Structure 1
Amino acid sequence: MKSNKEKIYDFIQMHDTAEKEGGVSTTYIAQALSLQRTNVSSLLNALVEEGRIHKSNGRPVLYSIAGVSRGDEEECFCKMTGWQGSLQHPIQLAKAAVLYPGRSLNILIVGEKGTGKKEFAHLIYEYCLVKQIFSAESPFLQMNCRDYQGSAKDAREKLMGERQSGMLKDAESGILYMDNVQYLDGGLLREIASYSGKPGRKGLLIASCTPDAQPAQEEFQSEFPIVITMPRITERPIEERMEMIQTLFSTEASRVGRELVVKEELMRCLLLYECPENFQQLKRDIKIGCANAYVRELANDRRITLYVSDFEPTIRQGMSRFGQMREEIERLIPENSTFTFDGSRMRVSETETKNIYKELRQKAKQLESEGIEGEDIKMLLSTEVERAFGKYQQKLIHEVRSRKELELIVDEELIDMVEGFLAKVENARNKKIDDAVFFGLCVHMKNVVNGTKTTESMDRLEISEVVTRYKQEYMLSLAFAEEIQEVYGRQLTIDEVILITMFLCYEPPKQTDKGQTVILYAFYGKDIAASIVRTITEITGFNHIFSFEVSHRQSETQIYESLKKCILEIEQKQGVFIVYDSDLVSKVAEEISEETGIMIRLFPAPVTTLGIELARKAMISSNLDAVYRDAMKSVGDFATSHEKYLITLCTTGKGGAEELKTYIERYGHMEDVQIIPLSMSNPKALQEAFRDLMRRGTILCVVGTFDPKLYSIPFCSITEVFTTPKERLPELLRKTESKDYEVDHQEVFHYLAGQFSHVEIKKVETSVEAFLQEVDQKLKHMTQDAQMGLLVHTACCIERLASGETSPENPKRKAILHQYHKEFQQLLRMLRPMEKAFHIIFSDDEVANMLMIIYQI
């Protein structure tokens, strides 16, 4: 989402070619974009200082674009999904190559099949036209080198022709794109490099190949110095894949001239299934599914509903990954949602489900009617069953983490009854019941005795299955129901007894016992890993280091099974650190981690693989420096294979974390790092999010109001971020030495001016500063971090409420307001001036959020 500054710049740029002669005024911009005039004025001055716009001297003051427009440049690349995300670095490299002084540099695009190499080359051509590197008549010629595999003579004639009249000569005033360049003969590659290196040559050469077939000829590499790597679809953020799916469905809806309706389970499958051929496979599979649905609905002219059965069987396998990515997927695709595409836009609707049993029955019948077989139905429904009861259980314990908090919302007599009931169950089953079941059942029984309906009726078959499977638990639940009737006069239905039974059978996630992290060396070759481990053990005397031998004679399945068996035998409840020298080991280890739930971290040490590669390089090249350079590059590729993350953390919702992310993206120069905004409102979910990121890469540091102290990750306070000069922010975020600076709140408000649309920033600054001073004097003397956190949170809260948005629910509200009742009343009085000034009302949830920041709860 663009900031207000960028919106203003785009608005001026749009009017620079329209009737507004000489530019546009501050008032005109403010009215057109519905922004505060003072905020617009501040942002215009900033754009003038940056040299991006021109300010007239007369009256009224008018603003116009200074120099060359950036909009057309961005339009070239914004056609590809991820142009502001995963493709940001490739685009920067492409621009650098095109704009290189003297003449443009040749480009090699490396990427797997279907990653968009050809489309990216076309966009580079468009960018050259916009920057006037070439004229509008300049050609874009392309050659698929695969067509000339094994035919070097034909390829040379195509490229060189007679008397230099081939494609290379024809592309002198434009671009020649050579796809699949790995299929060209090595000698011809050297000739191409020699031709491209001639003085005075003006044309641009773009070649592409797959990662495993990059040309090794030194001459070719020297004449193609810019290497751009296109990411696989699995390396892109899940939001980008969602955007691809939306674009493809919109395109197909335009083609068929009818609305396409896609249900939640199909969208999730498409978002999660394996795409070996990347975007091209996703595009092909969606086209096939839409075609099948079109044929099925050919007889009518209504909207077309797409089902999982319309697509290839491999699509369904995506649901097997749902458990590992549940939170991320549900954020993009809400439960019971339906997506409708009409060719120009996408609509999302959600249906509230009152009866989980009825929903599961209907879904099973629907899948059966679509031709899906029984095993596939079970796979799809198993995740729904787990989510249905698990989500209800988690919802009940969301506000409760101790007996003291429980007593705030549940009658003490009822708590004692549940506690006594569960003690009987433990004695009867000789099995300890988790505290999560105790908390959840207490809250559930509170709803039951108060007459709140918690579920709809189940059919007889379902009741029979539960009673048969859990007979002992059912009989104990019946006895408990009689106790409830005696004490509260509330007779429980059989459905309510069944639900109590399900509580007793619920298995919460097991807590990890204390143990030892183990190290596993997994190398190709006989006794290599064992020798390393034996040496380390002899020197250190430690016994938590193990070895695993990988044989090239084993299939991937055999390696998977034997490695899994090894990990299960050596794992000691604290995870396994694997040092490996083969990508295959990395791949199967990640699959084992997903299957077993064991935390596995991977570290590449390509001893054997690098040795084999060096032996091959030395065989084909007599140049010692070339072999050395290739070796250093191979080591570098292994060392930088992990993703890097920086976490921005907000005490309550993610709003403040999002703003912090935007600030760091703008001034932190963290192009090689993904910035992830998270909330601290749910500690368990936060820990899981951290673990998930650590599986995929390295978390450099956490930036927030106060340190969550998770996994010994370095922490950087929000105060340090906003008080450090912008030019030293990259140094700070990478955790090098940085001295303390005085807090400058004006710098923060200046930044927020570019984000706010509904309130005047000067008015916000005056009000919030007075509020902070009063809190500090009358309520609690705050640390600099707490003060900065409260400043950003309160300012963003004012903007959000002024825009008409509602406040997010604080799950700890009741407990906080009970514990800090006096402080809550004082804070309400302090907030009234701001409520009057901005015509807003701070909810109890927001006041609780502020108390959390002030008292570091």
Structure 2
Amino acid sequence: MGKSGNIIFKYLEDKCKEQRITGKSVVVGCSTRQIADSLLLQRTNVSSILNRLCEDGKVLKTKGKPIIYYSNSSTEMKKEREKPLTNSSNFSNLIGGNKSLKKSIQQAQAAILYPPRGLHTLILGPTGVGKTMFAELMYKFAMEKEVISKDAPFISFNCADYSNNPQLIMAHLFGSKKGAFTGADKDRIGLVDKANGGILFLDEIHRLPAEGQEMLFMLIDKSVYTPLGNIEEKKSGKILIICATTEEVGSALLTTFTRRIPMTINIPALKDRTIDERFELICDFFKIESRRIAREITISTNTVRSLLLYNCRGNIGQLKSDIQLGCANAFLKFVSKGKSKIEVHSTDFSNNVRQGLVSYMQESQIVDKIIKEDIRLNFKPKGIKFQVESNSDLLPDNFYESIEQRIQELKNRGVDEDDINFTMSYDIKNYFNKYIEKFEQEINKEELSKIVDDHIIVIVEEFFKTASEQMKKIFPTKVFYGLCLHISSIIERIHHKKEIINHNLNEIIQKHGKEYGLAINLSNKLEKKFDIKIPADEVGFIAMFLCVDETSDDNIGKPIIVIAMHGRSTASSMAEVANRLVGGNNVYAYDMNLDKNPQIAYKELKEFIIANHQGPGVILLVDMGSLGMFGELISEETGIKIRVIEMVSTLIAIECARKALTNNNIHEVWEESKQSVAFLNNYNMSLTETYIPSKDNIIITTCVTGEGSAVKLKNMIEGAINIKERDIQVVAIAASDKKETFNTINTLSKNKKVVAIVGTINPNVYDIPFIPISELFLDNNYTRLRDIVSRIKTPADVYNEIFDALDKEITEINIREFQPLCIKFLDDIGENVIKYLDIYKVSGLTMHLACALVRLINNEDTPKCSKKEEIKTNYLKEFDIIKTLLIPLEKFYKILFSDDEVCHIVIIILEI
């Protein structure tokens, strides 16, 4: 122990003695902050030293917040620590006590404290959730609060033990007289008698026959009972009854019985507990095993992931049992193979547990907050240690080497081929993400060209432009640099004839077919240029670069938005708009018919929120009436965090949805959304202007200091540069951080081309120039931005280019006669069907119309539309409008568009 350690230990020891002697403190001991403030030391250093002292056994600490540390230097101090704290409770150490079990604990405490001797209680919950332990905690709490005496009994009885013999079960409970039934050869004292003055816990109460439940009536109502076979004798007993069952109350118990049990407590299943609580449970069980075998146990990252995510049907009981089995298998290897330490891996568990890794791809955002790839858990008999495995020596070009080392490690441990393939299919994503993160800082192209062939850079640049156009998404700059370096290492690896294996190949092809197809095109170009053959496994790795998405549509672990409104489809329509504009699919709708009973609506909305919430909470948007009161009630009943905004509007729904994609704190989402909407209203900015730009090319202005600054930037640009004549628009967005900025840009880029970003945060988007605010102030002429704008074509330029190209390709019709008719049709589509047609739709629709006219003029058959019935059913309005708008073309060319042709046009316009 160093100098600081000695000082801290001496201070704590003296302080504890002083507190005990003077009696100034109910709780003997000190918190970390008290010690740090008194000794003028850094709190983090004090905490680290105190934990080491705890591991050495010189200091002990309490659970809960704040943690209190005690000196362990004398017998008197040990006795002092063993005294119950005046503000403590046996419930305080229960995992989830302030979260999923908070309401259950409050109910249990209320039941025990209710005068004069507490309330009889029924505990509900599936097998393995800890109902028996919960009943024991209620018993300890009753002793602590002096509701029962310190020597009061706690008698536990499982009603399933004798459920097939009613007489025997009655005898066990109430006692019996000799000769009361066959086999009763002596007087028997019942459990009720033994529990007098204390608590009787009846587990699996649903297995108690009806006559048994009825015999409890008198005990509950009058505190008296009759032993079996002795009608004349009535015994009295002051007993608090706690029952537990896994069954539905109404179907398993007599109504007359449940009516006599005033308190019902639900213990949630493991799947309904938070993932943080599950992690705490896992750690607790590993600590128990470490103490049991008196050795340190190291847990791999994949082990924790599996245990956090597998379907544990037997709840906490099964989780504990599975962990024991895993530790037993690891211990066997430790003994039989002469290992230096006990290491628990996912392969030490049953297949059921290992299947938890299957869910990791979807749950990675949540799980990675708890356990990351470079952290292992060390459980010692005296504590837990997080061991960080340094990866700082990993270079950007050793992606393959990392995978090969991992495979070799698994082989050395004797893991079979199938398990290796299973494990690696989930590890590859983590190695890939690590590789990409190394390019977080933007690399200069000039620096890149020093280590990567210029031909590779050119090919990758063309590849990303094609991918952006076809997938309608943007890519982080780090993905571009990462792929350039990766391809350089591919070529070198192929030249050295090194094997390439991708354990994720099948999944990539099945789930990301479009990305894989684009990767094949890139591979073909590389093969021709460098005279190599790229295997399919490597094509899969290239496709993974296109799957990197910092704005994933997967909302697991994110707050959700629930719109609850009166009317048959009012909420649904608003949710559809918000999801379409934001692109997050995190907005849900509950439509409440005007004639629906509020109680039924409450139950439906509660069940709807329970079924859809993801953990962090819910923003509930309501219009009026009783819906406004539901949020607080549902939150109180379920424990789900809910914030309510009344007088919902589409703008509020959009802002909440957008904020929720990048912020897990619903309170911040709630506050920021209201402020953003107030800002938009104050600046008279319309929904269309903010979220659906009317031009095909946009300049984005953003500022972290506030939305007003983004608008000022927009006004500065529009005042300095004339953009009215061009197909370009400046859009101000409110974004509090880099991730939110990237998310909003990605959403806008799905339908528009972002030509520049001006602001304080560089989101590092590939192929979109970023202009910092400082550059605009230093260059009053806005030279770089003005040059970007000058290269944007006017709408007239765009149309002329399209029809010039058609004039060269199509000779069957006069394109100059077709041009005004087509432009009129496109303008009418914009006014009546879909408000904005981007350049790609304009080009595609123009080409399709010209070709359709040629077919009809030449009396050729129109291709059949496979979705005709679907379109006529679901898009009849749009179908009829387009059919009408085609009449001028039909009259001019004396032709008739078939229903199939109209359906083809609907598909192009609406992207069906």
Give the alignment's TM-score, normalised by structure 2. Answer: 0.49
For 2:200, the equivalent position in structure 1 comes to 176
Aligned ranges for residues 829-844 of structure 1 at < 5 Å?
Answer: none
What SS does the aligned partner of 1:207 have?
strand
What SS does the aligned partner of 2:335 have?
coil
What SS does the aligned partner of 1:251 have?
helix
Deviates more, 1:377-386 or 1:147-156: 377-386
For 1:341, the equivalent position in structure 2 comes to 379
Q: 1:462 to 1:333 in 2, by over 3 A?
A: farther
The alpha carbon displacement at 1:359 in A equals: 2.4
The alpha carbon displacement at 1:327 in A equals: 1.6
Aligned partner (choices 768, 772, 779) of residue 819 of structure 1: 772
Aligned ranges for residues 430-509 of structure 1 at < 5 Å?
Answer: 432=470, 436-437=474-475, 439-444=477-482, 460=496, 462=498, 473-474=522-523, 476-477=525-526, 502-503=541-542, 506-508=545-547
The alpha carbon displacement at 1:272 in A equals: 1.3
Aligned partner (choices 201, 205, 209) of residue 241 of structure 2: 205
Structure 2 portions without partners, runs of 5+: 1-11, 41-82, 178-187, 224-235, 506-515, 554-567, 593-598, 619-633, 644-655, 680-704, 714-735, 738-759, 779-912
Residue type of the alignment partner of 1:202: K
The alpha carbon displacement at 1:384 in A equals: 2.1
Aligned partner (choices 331, 345, 364) of residue 307 of structure 1: 345
What SS does the aligned partner of 1:112 have?
coil
Residue type of the alignment partner of 2:525: L
For 2:872, the equivalent position in structure 1 comes to none
Is the CA contact 1:474–1:501 (under 8 Å) kept in the aligned structure 2? Answer: no
Aligned partner (choices 90, 94, 112) of residue 104 of structure 2: 90
**How far apart are the structure 1 equivalents of 2:332 and 2:387?**
26
**How far apart are the structure 2 equivalents of 1:670 and 1:106?**
23
Is the CA contact 2:122–2:261 (under 8 Å) kept in the aligned structure 1? Answer: yes
Aligned partner (choices 359, 364, 368) of residue 330 of structure 1: 368
Aligned partner (choices 206, 217, 231) of residue 254 of structure 2: 217
What SS does the aligned partner of 1:134 have?
coil
The alpha carbon displacement at 1:180 in A equals: 0.7
The alpha carbon displacement at 1:474 in A equals: 3.8
Residue type of the alignment partner of 2:126: E
**How far apart are the structure 1 equivalents of 2:606 and 2:126?**
16
Is the CA contact 2:441–2:478 (under 8 Å) kept in the aligned structure 1? Answer: no
Residue type of the alignment partner of 1:506: F
Is the CA contact 2:477–2:764 (under 8 Å) kept in the aligned structure 1? Answer: no
For 1:143, the equivalent position in structure 2 comes to 157
Residue type of the alignment partner of 1:195: L
Aligned partner (choices 414, 424, 429) of residue 386 of structure 1: 429
For 2:728, the equivalent position in structure 1 comes to none
Aligned ranges for residues 268-667 of structure 1 at < 5 Å?
Answer: 268-298=305-335, 300=338, 302-353=340-391, 354=394, 355-393=398-436, 396=439, 421-422=459-460, 425=463, 432=470, 436-437=474-475, 439-444=477-482, 460=496, 462=498, 473-474=522-523, 476-477=525-526, 502-503=541-542, 506-508=545-547, 638=607, 641-642=610-611
For 1:193, the equivalent position in structure 2 comes to 217
Identity %: 20
**How far apart are the structure 2 equivalents of 1:243 and 1:442?**
40
For 1:237, the equivalent position in structure 2 comes to 274
Deviations 1:535-570 (A, max 9, x none): xxxx99xx99xxxxxxxxxxxxxxxxxxxxxxxxxx
Is the CA contact 2:374–2:390 (under 8 Å) kept in the aligned structure 1? Answer: yes
The alpha carbon displacement at 1:364 in A equals: 2.3
Aligned partner (choices 101, 114, 125) of residue 111 of structure 1: 125
For 1:259, the equivalent position in structure 2 comes to 296
**How far apart are the structure 2 equivalents of 1:389 and 1:434?**
23
1:120 aligns with 2:134: yes
The alpha carbon displacement at 1:188 in A equals: 1.6
Residue type of the alignment partner of 1:309: T
Residue type of the alignment partner of 2:240: L
Aligned partner (choices 26, 32, 35) of residue 33 of structure 1: 35
For 2:672, the equivalent position in structure 1 comes to 706
**How far apart are the structure 2 equivalents of 1:670 and 1:11?**
44
For 2:719, the equivalent position in structure 1 comes to none
The alpha carbon displacement at 1:271 in A equals: 1.5
**How far apart are the structure 1 equivalents of 2:533 and 2:377?**
37
Residue type of the alignment partner of 1:237: T
Is the CA contact 2:590–2:605 (under 8 Å) kept in the aligned structure 1? Answer: no
What SS does the aligned partner of 1:176 have?
strand
Is the CA contact 1:158–1:166 (under 8 Å) kept in the aligned structure 2? Answer: yes
**How far apart are the structure 2 equivalents of 1:345 and 1:439?**
43
What SS does the aligned partner of 1:334 have?
coil
Structure 1 portions without partners, runs of 5+: 1-9, 39-68, 483-492, 515-538, 545-570, 576-596, 606-629, 650-667, 678-685, 716-771, 781-788, 791-809, 826-857
Is the CA contact 2:479–2:545 (under 8 Å) kept in the aligned structure 1? Answer: no
For 1:855, the equivalent position in structure 2 comes to none
For 1:18, the equivalent position in structure 2 comes to 20
Q: 1:172 to 1:249 in 2, by over 3 A?
A: same
For 2:6, the equivalent position in structure 1 comes to none
Is the CA contact 1:111–1:209 (under 8 Å) kept in the aligned structure 2? Answer: yes
Is the CA contact 1:307–1:370 (under 8 Å) kept in the aligned structure 2? Answer: no
Radius of gyration: which is bigger? 2
Aligned partner (choices 244, 252, 264) of residue 227 of structure 1: 264
Is the CA contact 2:123–2:245 (under 8 Å) kept in the aligned structure 1? Answer: yes
Q: 1:20 to 1:670 in 2, by over 3 A?
A: farther
For 1:783, the equivalent position in structure 2 comes to none
Q: 1:640 to 1:111 in 2, by over 3 A?
A: farther
What SS does the aligned partner of 2:135 have?
helix
What SS does the aligned partner of 1:346 have?
strand
Deviations 1:561-589 (A, max 9, x none): xxxxxxxxxx99979xxxxxxxxxxxxxx
**How far apart are the structure 2 equivalents of 1:817 and 1:103?**
71
**How far apart are the structure 2 equivalents of 1:504 and 1:347?**
38
The alpha carbon displacement at 1:236 in A equals: 0.8
Residue type of the alignment partner of 1:706: E
**How far apart are the structure 2 equivalents of 1:213 and 1:222?**
11
What SS does the aligned partner of 2:128 have?
coil
**How far apart are the structure 1 equivalents of 2:408 and 2:272?**
36
**How far apart are the structure 1 equivalents of 2:259 and 2:663?**
37
For 2:747, the equivalent position in structure 1 comes to none
Is the CA contact 1:309–1:371 (under 8 Å) kept in the aligned structure 2? Answer: no
**How far apart are the structure 2 equivalents of 1:573 and 1:22?**
59
Residue type of the alignment partner of 1:356: F
The alpha carbon displacement at 1:151 in A equals: 1.7
Residue type of the alignment partner of 1:357: Y
Aligned partner (choices 77, 81, 89) of residue 95 of structure 2: 81
**How far apart are the structure 2 equivalents of 1:203 and 1:96?**
17
**How far apart are the structure 2 equivalents of 1:188 and 1:298?**
52
Q: 1:368 to 1:280 in 2, by over 3 A?
A: same
What SS does the aligned partner of 2:119 have?
coil
Is the CA contact 2:457–2:484 (under 8 Å) kept in the aligned structure 1? Answer: no
The alpha carbon displacement at 1:229 in A equals: 0.8
Residue type of the alignment partner of 1:307: H
The alpha carbon displacement at 1:646 in A equals: 9.2
Is the CA contact 1:174–1:204 (under 8 Å) kept in the aligned structure 2? Answer: yes
**How far apart are the structure 1 equivalents of 2:294 and 2:527?**
58
The alpha carbon displacement at 1:812 in A equals: 4.6
Q: 1:20 to 1:313 in 2, by over 3 A?
A: same
Q: How many residues align?
A: 551
**How far apart are the structure 2 equivalents of 1:21 and 1:147?**
51
Q: 1:380 to 1:72 in 2, by over 3 A?
A: farther
Is the CA contact 1:356–1:388 (under 8 Å) kept in the aligned structure 2? Answer: yes
Is the CA contact 1:82–1:88 (under 8 Å) kept in the aligned structure 2? Answer: yes
For 1:133, the equivalent position in structure 2 comes to 147
For 1:152, the equivalent position in structure 2 comes to 166
Deviates more, 1:320-329 or 1:338-347: 338-347
Q: 1:129 to 1:430 in 2, by over 3 A?
A: closer
**How far apart are the structure 2 equivalents of 1:118 and 1:208?**
8
The alpha carbon displacement at 1:216 in A equals: 3.5
